[in-house]
Amino acid sequence: MQQLEGKVVVVTGASSGIGRALALELVATGARVVAAARNRDELLGLAAEAKSRWGRDVHVITADVTRPEDNESLVAETVQAHGRLDVFVANAGMTMRARLVDADLESLRRVFEVNFWGARYGIRAALPHVVAQGGSIVGVSSIAGYRGLPGRAAYSGSKFDLNGLLEVVRAEYLAQGLHVLTACPGFTQSNIRKRALKADGSPGGESFRNEGEMMTAEQCAVHIVRAIVQRRRTLILTRQGRLAVWLNKLWPSLADRLVWQTMRREADPVV
C-alpha cells in the first residue's frame, strides 16, 4: 500500500501473534518497521523472515511496555534512527481466565499493566512525534472492550479502559487531525490463549478454544493495515464480534446469555 511506503511504524508486542503478523504485513507495504517486545530472540526471528521475504530490514528494540522508561526509550531510539515517527501501534497484550472472585489480585493488576498502562505509556511518548507527522495512533483492543466476557474480568476491564483512552486521545487532538484507530479483533489464532494466566497467576500453557475455527493473525493484520491506510475510526472484526457489539447495544440481556453460553463451551470452562 503506497500510503505507508517509507512511513516509520512502531509495533509493540511484535514478537508473536497479531503483533508479529502486523509487523510483517507492514514491511510488505514498504513501511519502515520498528518491532518492540521483551523477547529479543523472537524479534530477531521476525527480522530474519522480513529480510528473507522482502529484503527489508526491521529495526528491533527490546522493551517492556509496563515500564514508562522503556516506552520513552523506544520512541526516542526510533526518532533518532529514522528521523520521524508516523504510526504507533499499541498492540502488546495478555489475558487471564478466572472468575473475578477467584483471581489472584497481583495477576489482575499485571493484565492491566500490560493492556492499559503499557498502551498509555507508549501512546503518551509517541504522541508529539505522530501528531507532527499527521500520522496514526492505533490501539489493538478487542470485542471484549465493548462487551464484558465472563471469566475475563481483567482482560475485558483493561480493554474497556483502552477504548476509553483512545476516544480521549482522538477528541483531544481533533483540531490537529490526528488519526486514532480502535482495532477490535474477535477470537483470533494467536499465542495469547496459550499464555493466558490461570486464577492463581500461573500460565495456562494451552489453548482452551478451537483455534482452527478462528480468523488467523495474518488475516487480522491485513484488515488492520487497510484500516490504517483508510484512516478509519473503528475496526470490529469477525461476524461473531460484530454481532456481539450490536446485540449488546440493542438487546443486552440476550447478549448476557449468549456470551455466557459461548464461554461455557470452552475446554475446562471457568464460569
Quickly list DSSP for the chain. -GGGTT-EEEEESTTSHHHHHHHHHHHHHT-EEEEEES-HHHHHHHHHHHHHHHS---EEEE--TTSHHHHHHHHHHHHHHHS---EEEE-----B-B-GGGS-HHHHHHHHIIIIIHHHHHHHHHHHHHHHHT-EEEEE--GGGTS--TTBHHHHHHHHHHHHHHHHHHHHTGGGT-EEEEEE--SBSSTTTTT-B-TTS-B--S-SS-GGGSBPHHHHHHHHHHHHHTT-SEEE-SHHHHHHHHHHHH-HHHHHHHHHHHHHTSSS---
The catalytic residue among 121, 146, 155, 173 is 155
121 as an active site residue: the answer is no
Catalytic sites, residue numbers: 155
